[in-house]
Amino acid sequence: MSSTIKDVAKQAGVSVATVSRVLNNLPGYSEETKRRVEQAVEELGYQPNAIARGLVNRRTETIGVLFPSVSSSFSSEILHGIEEVAHKHNYSVIVCNTAEDGKRTMKYLQVLREKRVDGIIYSSGVLEPEYYEAVQAMGVPLVLVATKSDWDDVPFIKVDDRQAAYDAAAYLISQGHREIAMIGGGESDSIAGQPRYEGFRQALRDHGLPLREDHVQDGGFTFEGGCGAAERLLTASPEVTAVFAAGDEMAIAVISVAARLGIAVPDQLAVIGYDNLKLAEMSNPPLTTVAQPLHEMGRMASEKLIEMLATGQPAASEVVPHRVIERQTVKKR
């Protein structure tokens, strides 16, 4: 069907070695030969077979990327960044949707191993020891994005969650709020849950504000969860004038239930989110939020992985800057 390097060699009247040399432009042939080979390639419409190449080179120019949920806006912005730089460096990316399922994740890691990907990016979830070991066993570099781990040979790209949450709360305080609530992702989530609670609490403490435990609710990072949490919060604690939601979807949820309850945002209730997803600017009113540069983080993760591939060296983690984006859901009072 499609032609091979042998066909090209025959057509050009040279050996396959020579064809390979001109294709990879290594030295060792005359201009004339090069011309003939190129012409033969042209005539036959030859495309090298990356599979065969991969077999001998032991590199596939492919990386695997694992997400808990590919369809989330969060993941897809990261994916976009990853794909962008991967493509620039001639790498392809295989996406895997772990659905936060350990069995599934292990299955994916096995597939990625069999397919001999050159490296792996693991996004926004806990890197279980089991996963770590699987990646170790396959002997390819791993980088984490929007998460971190205790293994210091695996670099991560991440915002300082604790500080970001601190800054969100501090921002609310700076705007004159005193009764501040938080909707988080759950204390059990050691990556994106706990640290944000801690930052939030620390900010209140540092500003001499009382810590009311009924003012912190768990929204599980989803819109629906956020709605539930917001409803509990807003009905039980009418005194709160501001809420920090540890994810934009949950922030949007509080705006929604506030609207339903007849509470005006930002006049009666200030809301600040976390992430700065595209939906934040499309929100009504536009959502003030602390931004993580997700696209950029994806790019950096890719960049880092490819660097590790090139140098063979472990690379350093990066804590990327967050910042609060002031839009229209927080008003001075």
Nearer to DNA, 89 or 162 (CB): 89
210 alpha carbon, distance to own chain's centre: 35
| Contact stretch for a second copy (CB under 8 A) within 77-85, 202-210, 236-244, 314-322 | 77-85
Measured from the CB of residue 124, what is the shortest distance to DNA in angstroms? 32
Near DNA by CB under 7 A: residue from 25, 45, 58, 71: 58
Measured from the CB of residue 58, what is the shortest distance to a second copy in angstroms? 9
- Applying CB under 8 A, the site for a second copy has a residue count of 59
User: Do you find a cis peptide bond into 141, omega within 30 degrees of 0?
Assistant: no
Residues 6+ apart with CB under 8 A from 171: 272, 290, 324, 330
Let me know: does 285 contact 317? Beta carbons within 8 Å.
no
Which positions from 286 to 315 touch a second copy by CB under 8 A, shown as an x/- string? x--------x--------------------
| Residue 223 interacting with a second copy (CB under 8 A) | yes
Nearer to a second copy, 9 or 252 (CB): 252
Measured from the CB of residue 163, what is the shortest distance to a second copy in angstroms? 26
| Type of residue found at 266 | P
Instruction: Report the partner that residue 256 touches, choosing among a second copy, DNA, none (CB closer than 5 to 8 A by kind).
Output: a second copy
Q: Alpha-carbon distance 157 to 123, whole Å? A: 10
| Type of residue found at 122 | Y
End-to-end CA distance of the chain: 73
| Residue 6 interacting with DNA (CB under 7 A) | yes
Q: Alpha-carbon distance 79 to 63, whole Å? A: 12
3-state secondary structure 36-49: HHHHHHHHHCCCCC
Q: Site residues (CB under 7 A) for DNA? A: 4-6, 13-18, 20-21, 23-24, 26-30, 32-33, 46-49, 51-53, 55-58
